[in-house]
């Protein structure tokens, strides 16, 4: 099992319940592909570095998890087509 982090940037134009549903869906994807969530970090609403889809602000979430090496590709392919997810990235954490 390797340690990974999923960074998700969620649209600020949606309601709180919808935003929570997007994050829950990301968590469910991680668990569906054999991952174990260790930490969910909510950074809240932040200004984007540049305008994306005519939005200047978005909500940032960082989900740390343990999973097999095949899981990140599967998770990325599912998150890519999710509504209200502006940007995402899965990175492998250092073992140090």
pTM over 0.85: yes
Cα separation, 93 vs 75, whole angstroms = 16
User: How confident is the model over 27-83, as pLDDT tens digits?
Assistant: 999 999 999 999 999 999 999 999 998 999 999 999 999 999 999 999 999 999 998
CA 28 to chain centre: 11
**Count of residues making up the chain:** 96
Q: CB neighbours (10 Å) of residue 14?
A: 15
- According to the model, what pLDDT value does residue 33 have? 92
User: 89 and 95 in contact (C-beta within 8 Å)?
Assistant: no
DSSP state of 20: H
Domains, in order of start, for the chain: 2-92 (3.30.70.60)
């Amino acid at each position: 099992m390797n340690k990974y982090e999923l960074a998700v940037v969620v649209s600020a134009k949606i309601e709180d319940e919808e935003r929570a549903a997007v994050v829950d869906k990301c968590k469910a994807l991680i668990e569906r592909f054999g991952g174990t969530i260790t930490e969910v970090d909510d950074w809240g609403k932040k200004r984007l570095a540049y305008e994306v889809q005519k939005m200047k602000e978005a909500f940032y979430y960082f989900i740390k998890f343990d999973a097999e090496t095949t899981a990140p590709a599967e998770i990325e392919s599912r998150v890519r087509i999710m509504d209200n997810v502006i940007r995402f990235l899965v990175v492998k954490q250092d073992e140090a």
